[in-house]
């Protein structure tokens, strides 16, 4: 079965793995998914990720992060810009989930960044996802 939106598939796999208290999850590798994983690691929502070669496109193994008492670090993760409806925002219009406690993942001309980094660099782009 072909997948059309690999990033939405990655976010759904992470969401389902968190519900099942899994330690790791495998996602399909592409540039956008690597950027999303990098931003999640930089912002402290996951422990880390690594690229796994499978002889085809490759996979990303995401190591999920939980609190000291086993509570989820990621409470909500949603895809904003979809295949049929792209959402672009300027730097002044970037959303702040939970008044800055969450992050928005933005795909810019300089790569995939968090909303905080976009505000520092004064650059807007396509809103990929929000994480709270």
Does the pTM surpass 0.85? The reply is yes
Q: What is the mean pLDDT of residues 113-126?
A: 98
Q: Where are the domains of the chain?
A: 6-131
Of 88, 76, 81, 71, the C-alpha closest to 131 is 76
pLDDT digits (tens, 9 = 90+) for 73-85: 999 999 999 999 9
pLDDT digits (tens, 9 = 90+) for 93-104: 999 999 999 999
Are 132 and 18 spatial neighbours (Cβ–Cβ below 8 Å)?
Answer: no
Answer yes or no: is pLDDT of 2 > 70. no
State both tokens at 6.
Answer: 């690999």
Which architecture characterizes domain 6-131 according to CATH? 2-Layer Sandwich (3.30)
């Amino acid at each position: 079965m072909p997948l059309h939106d690999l990033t939405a598939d990655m976010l759904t796999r992470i969401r389902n793995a968190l519900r099942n208290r899994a330690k790791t999850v495998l996602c399909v590798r592409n540039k956008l998914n690597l950027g999303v994983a990098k931003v999640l690691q930089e912002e402290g929502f996951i422990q880390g990720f690594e690229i796994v070669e499978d002889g085809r496109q490759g996979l990303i193994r995401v190591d999920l992060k939980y609190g000291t008492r086993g509570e989820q670090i990621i409470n909500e993760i949603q895809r904003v810009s979809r295949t049929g409806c792209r959402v672009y925002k300027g730097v002044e219009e970037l959303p702040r989930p939970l008044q800055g406690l969450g992050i928005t993942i933005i795909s810019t001309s300089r790569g995939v960044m968090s909303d905080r980094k976009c505000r520092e660099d004064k650059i807007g782009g396509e809103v990929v996802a929000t994480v709270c």
